[in-house]
Structures are given as C-alpha cells and as structure tokens.
Structure 1
Amino acid sequence: MFPNVQAVLFDLDGTLIDSAPDLAAAADRMRTRRGLASLPFEHYRPVCGAGARGLLGVAFGVKPGDPGFEELREEFFVNYESCMTERTFAFAGVPQLIDELLGLGLAWGVVTNKSMRFTGPLTRRLKLFASASAIVGGDSTPHAKPHPAPLLEAARQLGIQPGRCVYVGDDERDVIAGHAAGMHTVAAAYGYLGGNGDCTRWGAHAHVADPLDLLALLKTGTRA
C-alpha cells in the first residue's frame, strides 16, 4: 500500500500517547477550585485533541474570544505543566511498534499541534521518544495543522521527501494536513477522533484500530 516509505510521522496526543487523564485532571481541577462539581472523565476525553479550547469548553462552556478565556487558558496551562506525565502513558502496542519501525530501518517522528512549551518537556521525560528523529510542535512553524507546514518541516528535519513519509493521526485535520503535504495518511481509530467517531469518512489512505495494525500496511500492503 505504501511503496518506498522511509519514515513514519505521528500525531502525539491520542495517537502515540493517551494524555487525556492528565489533560482532564488539569481542567477539572479548575472547576473544583471554584466550588463546581467534578465532571466525569468521559466528558473530557473526546475533546482532548483540541487542547485548552476543547477542555475549557467542556469545563466552563467558554470558547476563544469569550471574556476571560485567555486567563482561564493560562491557568489551565499552568495546571497541566504541573501534572502532564503523572497519568500519561503510551497506548498499548506503541513501544513495540516503534521498535519494529526501527528494525525495518524506518525513521520516525512527531508532528503535533501541542505547543513546544509542553511537547518539549513531555517528549524528553518519556523514554519512548528517545529514538525520534524529528519533534515538531504546534508553534514550530508559522502554521499549525491542518496546514501542511509542520509535516513538511518534519520531513525536512528527517531529510526525507514528503512522498516517502506516512502520517498517522486521530483527527480529521491530520488527514487533511497529510494529504496537503503529499504524504500517505493513516487514521488512528483508537484515538480521540476529535469528537467525530467515524474516521472512515476523513479520506485517509487507511485506518488502523490498533497501533500494531500499522505494521501490516508497511510490511504487506494490506489495508487495515
């Protein structure tokens, strides 16, 4: 399915790592500090890929541009910085997947909309990322996904043509960015899905229900 692939790039939250417990805790702490009832984790998880915008929308019903949103966002950021690796872990199968990719001689990296304020410390603390050859955050280029600029920057860092890269993500914007960058695209059906559970409608070249399913696409060309 993906001929001449030399690298695999991944979104971060909801694709490689399940950071939802820490993200949700940072937002929910803001509610309880204000005397509001804690919300169930299930309310937060689907929007974790949207970061502060999605989480604050659930916690307080606010959106960018609303009065006080900027102050709430910075409070959320500070909360998250204090706990961002307490409950965050790689999805089952991801460490093995990375080992297999390296065994196949493929480079790999991360392209996320999470700002480097968080992406840098997070990827340095988790040993999974020690072998990553590119780490691109949401503010590493002038544009974030769904613009292709971050994916093209990752390919530049790897020294590999975009057409020889696969991009895996759990949000429709990942597929849009991947297509715009001229990469092969894979939708991670096990992720947060941006609140849109039907990832088969995003137009990805393939979708995987489990991280290790990606290996079949790379080794045999079998559609997952």
Structure 2
Amino acid sequence: MIDFSDIEGVIFDLDGTLVESGLNFRDIRKKLGCPTGVDILTFVEDIEDAVQKDAAAAFIVEQELADAHGARWLSKGKALVEALQAEGVPMAIVTRNSRNATTIKIETNQIPITTVITREDAPAKPDPTALLQIAANWGLHPSRCLYVGDFDYDRIAAERAGMQFLLV
C-alpha cells in the first residue's frame, strides 16, 4: 500500500499510463525476428550488422511515430496529473519511447510535464538510471518518489531505484 503523505515527487511512464498506445509489440517482434521474452531494444542494440541494426532501429521509430499521432490522454492519468499539479507536486516522465514520438504525444495532448527522459537520454527501463537522475535533480531521496506505470519494466525500475510504485 502506498502512503501518499510520503510522496514528494511523481514520475510517470507514458504509454499505457498517461496516454493510450496502439503499438503492436507482437507484430514488431515478428518483423524484427525478436524472440518472445527478449527485450526489443536490447535485441536491436545487439545486432552486429550496422545496416541491419539501423534498419531495425528505424522500423521501431517509424512504428512509434505512427502510434504517436493517435495517442490520447487516458482519463485516470489526466486526473492524477491535474490533481498533482493543483498540489504543486513535481512531476516527470520516463519512457522507453523515442524523443520524437514522446514530444508528439506530450504536445498533442498538452501534457503539463516538462521534465522528460526518453531512451536517448538515459538507459531504458528497467534500468533505474533515469528515475534516480530525476530524484537527484529534485533533491529528493528516491523513497520519497512514486513511479506510476503499467508494465513489469516500470515496477522493476522503481524497485531498483528504491522508489514506491503504482501499477495502473
């Protein structure tokens, strides 16, 4: 159980938490030849042939950008952001998305969060680096932060960072 009185900063995942996402990871995996259970970003990073690696990375970005234009606020995410904003609680977004897709989603939906870390800015979740960077920038102990997400990587990253976690 989360004690919200102990929370001084909230970090959100983006897809499936603040905005809807239509990314079909099964199809993306199939197109890339990525086995089930293997992280897609790690799979692409481990491709040795530079041309194949670039093509795979470009395909992922292409899928993200197509998804970004249709992404809309999720009502529960919007309500939580508005409540935190009214209370003056600092907020951030940490996402595995590309910077371009993230920017489109944030701008299109007018999400009032300016601290954003994408996979180009820090190692992708479940690595806790981005979460820890934000807590440090806020001058907060990680245990005073809440990470809100919808996927196992979000939970793992929060645990590794020593943050509280809320699954949505």
TM-score scaled by length of structure 1 = 0.59
Give 1:84 deviation, angstroms: 3.9
Within a 5 Å distance, the mapping from 1:202-221 to structure 2 comes to none
Q: Is the 8 A contact 1:107 1:133 kept in 2?
A: no
Q: 2:37 matched to which residue of 1?
A: none
- Gapped runs of 5+ residues in structure 2? 35-42
| Alignment equivalent of 1:56, drawn from 25, 28, 37 | 28
List, as ranges, runs of 4+ consecutive aligned residues in structure 1 with deviation greater than 6 Å. Answer: none
| Number of residue pairs aligned between Structure 1 and Structure 2 | 153
Q: Is the 8 A contact 2:69 2:104 kept in 1?
A: no
Aligned partner of residue 167 in structure 1, secondary structure: strand
Q: 2:40 matched to which residue of 1?
A: none
Q: What is the RMSD of the two structures over their aligned residues, measured on CA atoms? A: 2.5
1:4 aligns with 2:6: yes
* Greater relative contact order (CA < 8 Å, ≥ 6 in sequence): 2
Q: 2:38 matched to which residue of 1?
A: none
CA–CA distance in structure 2, aligned partners of residues 80 and 148 of structure 1: 22
CA–CA distance in structure 2, aligned partners of residues 133 and 72 of structure 1: 29
**Which stretch of structure 1 is more off in the superposition, 152-161 or 89-98?**
152-161
| Change in 2 beyond 3 A, CA 1:76/1:171 | closer
Q: 2:139 matched to which residue of 1?
A: 159
TM-score scaled by length of structure 2 = 0.76
| Change in 2 beyond 3 A, CA 1:148/1:126 | same
Q: Is the 8 A contact 1:115 1:138 kept in 2?
A: yes
Q: Is the 8 A contact 1:167 1:185 kept in 2?
A: yes
| Change in 2 beyond 3 A, CA 1:12/1:102 | same
Q: Is the 8 A contact 1:11 1:170 kept in 2?
A: yes
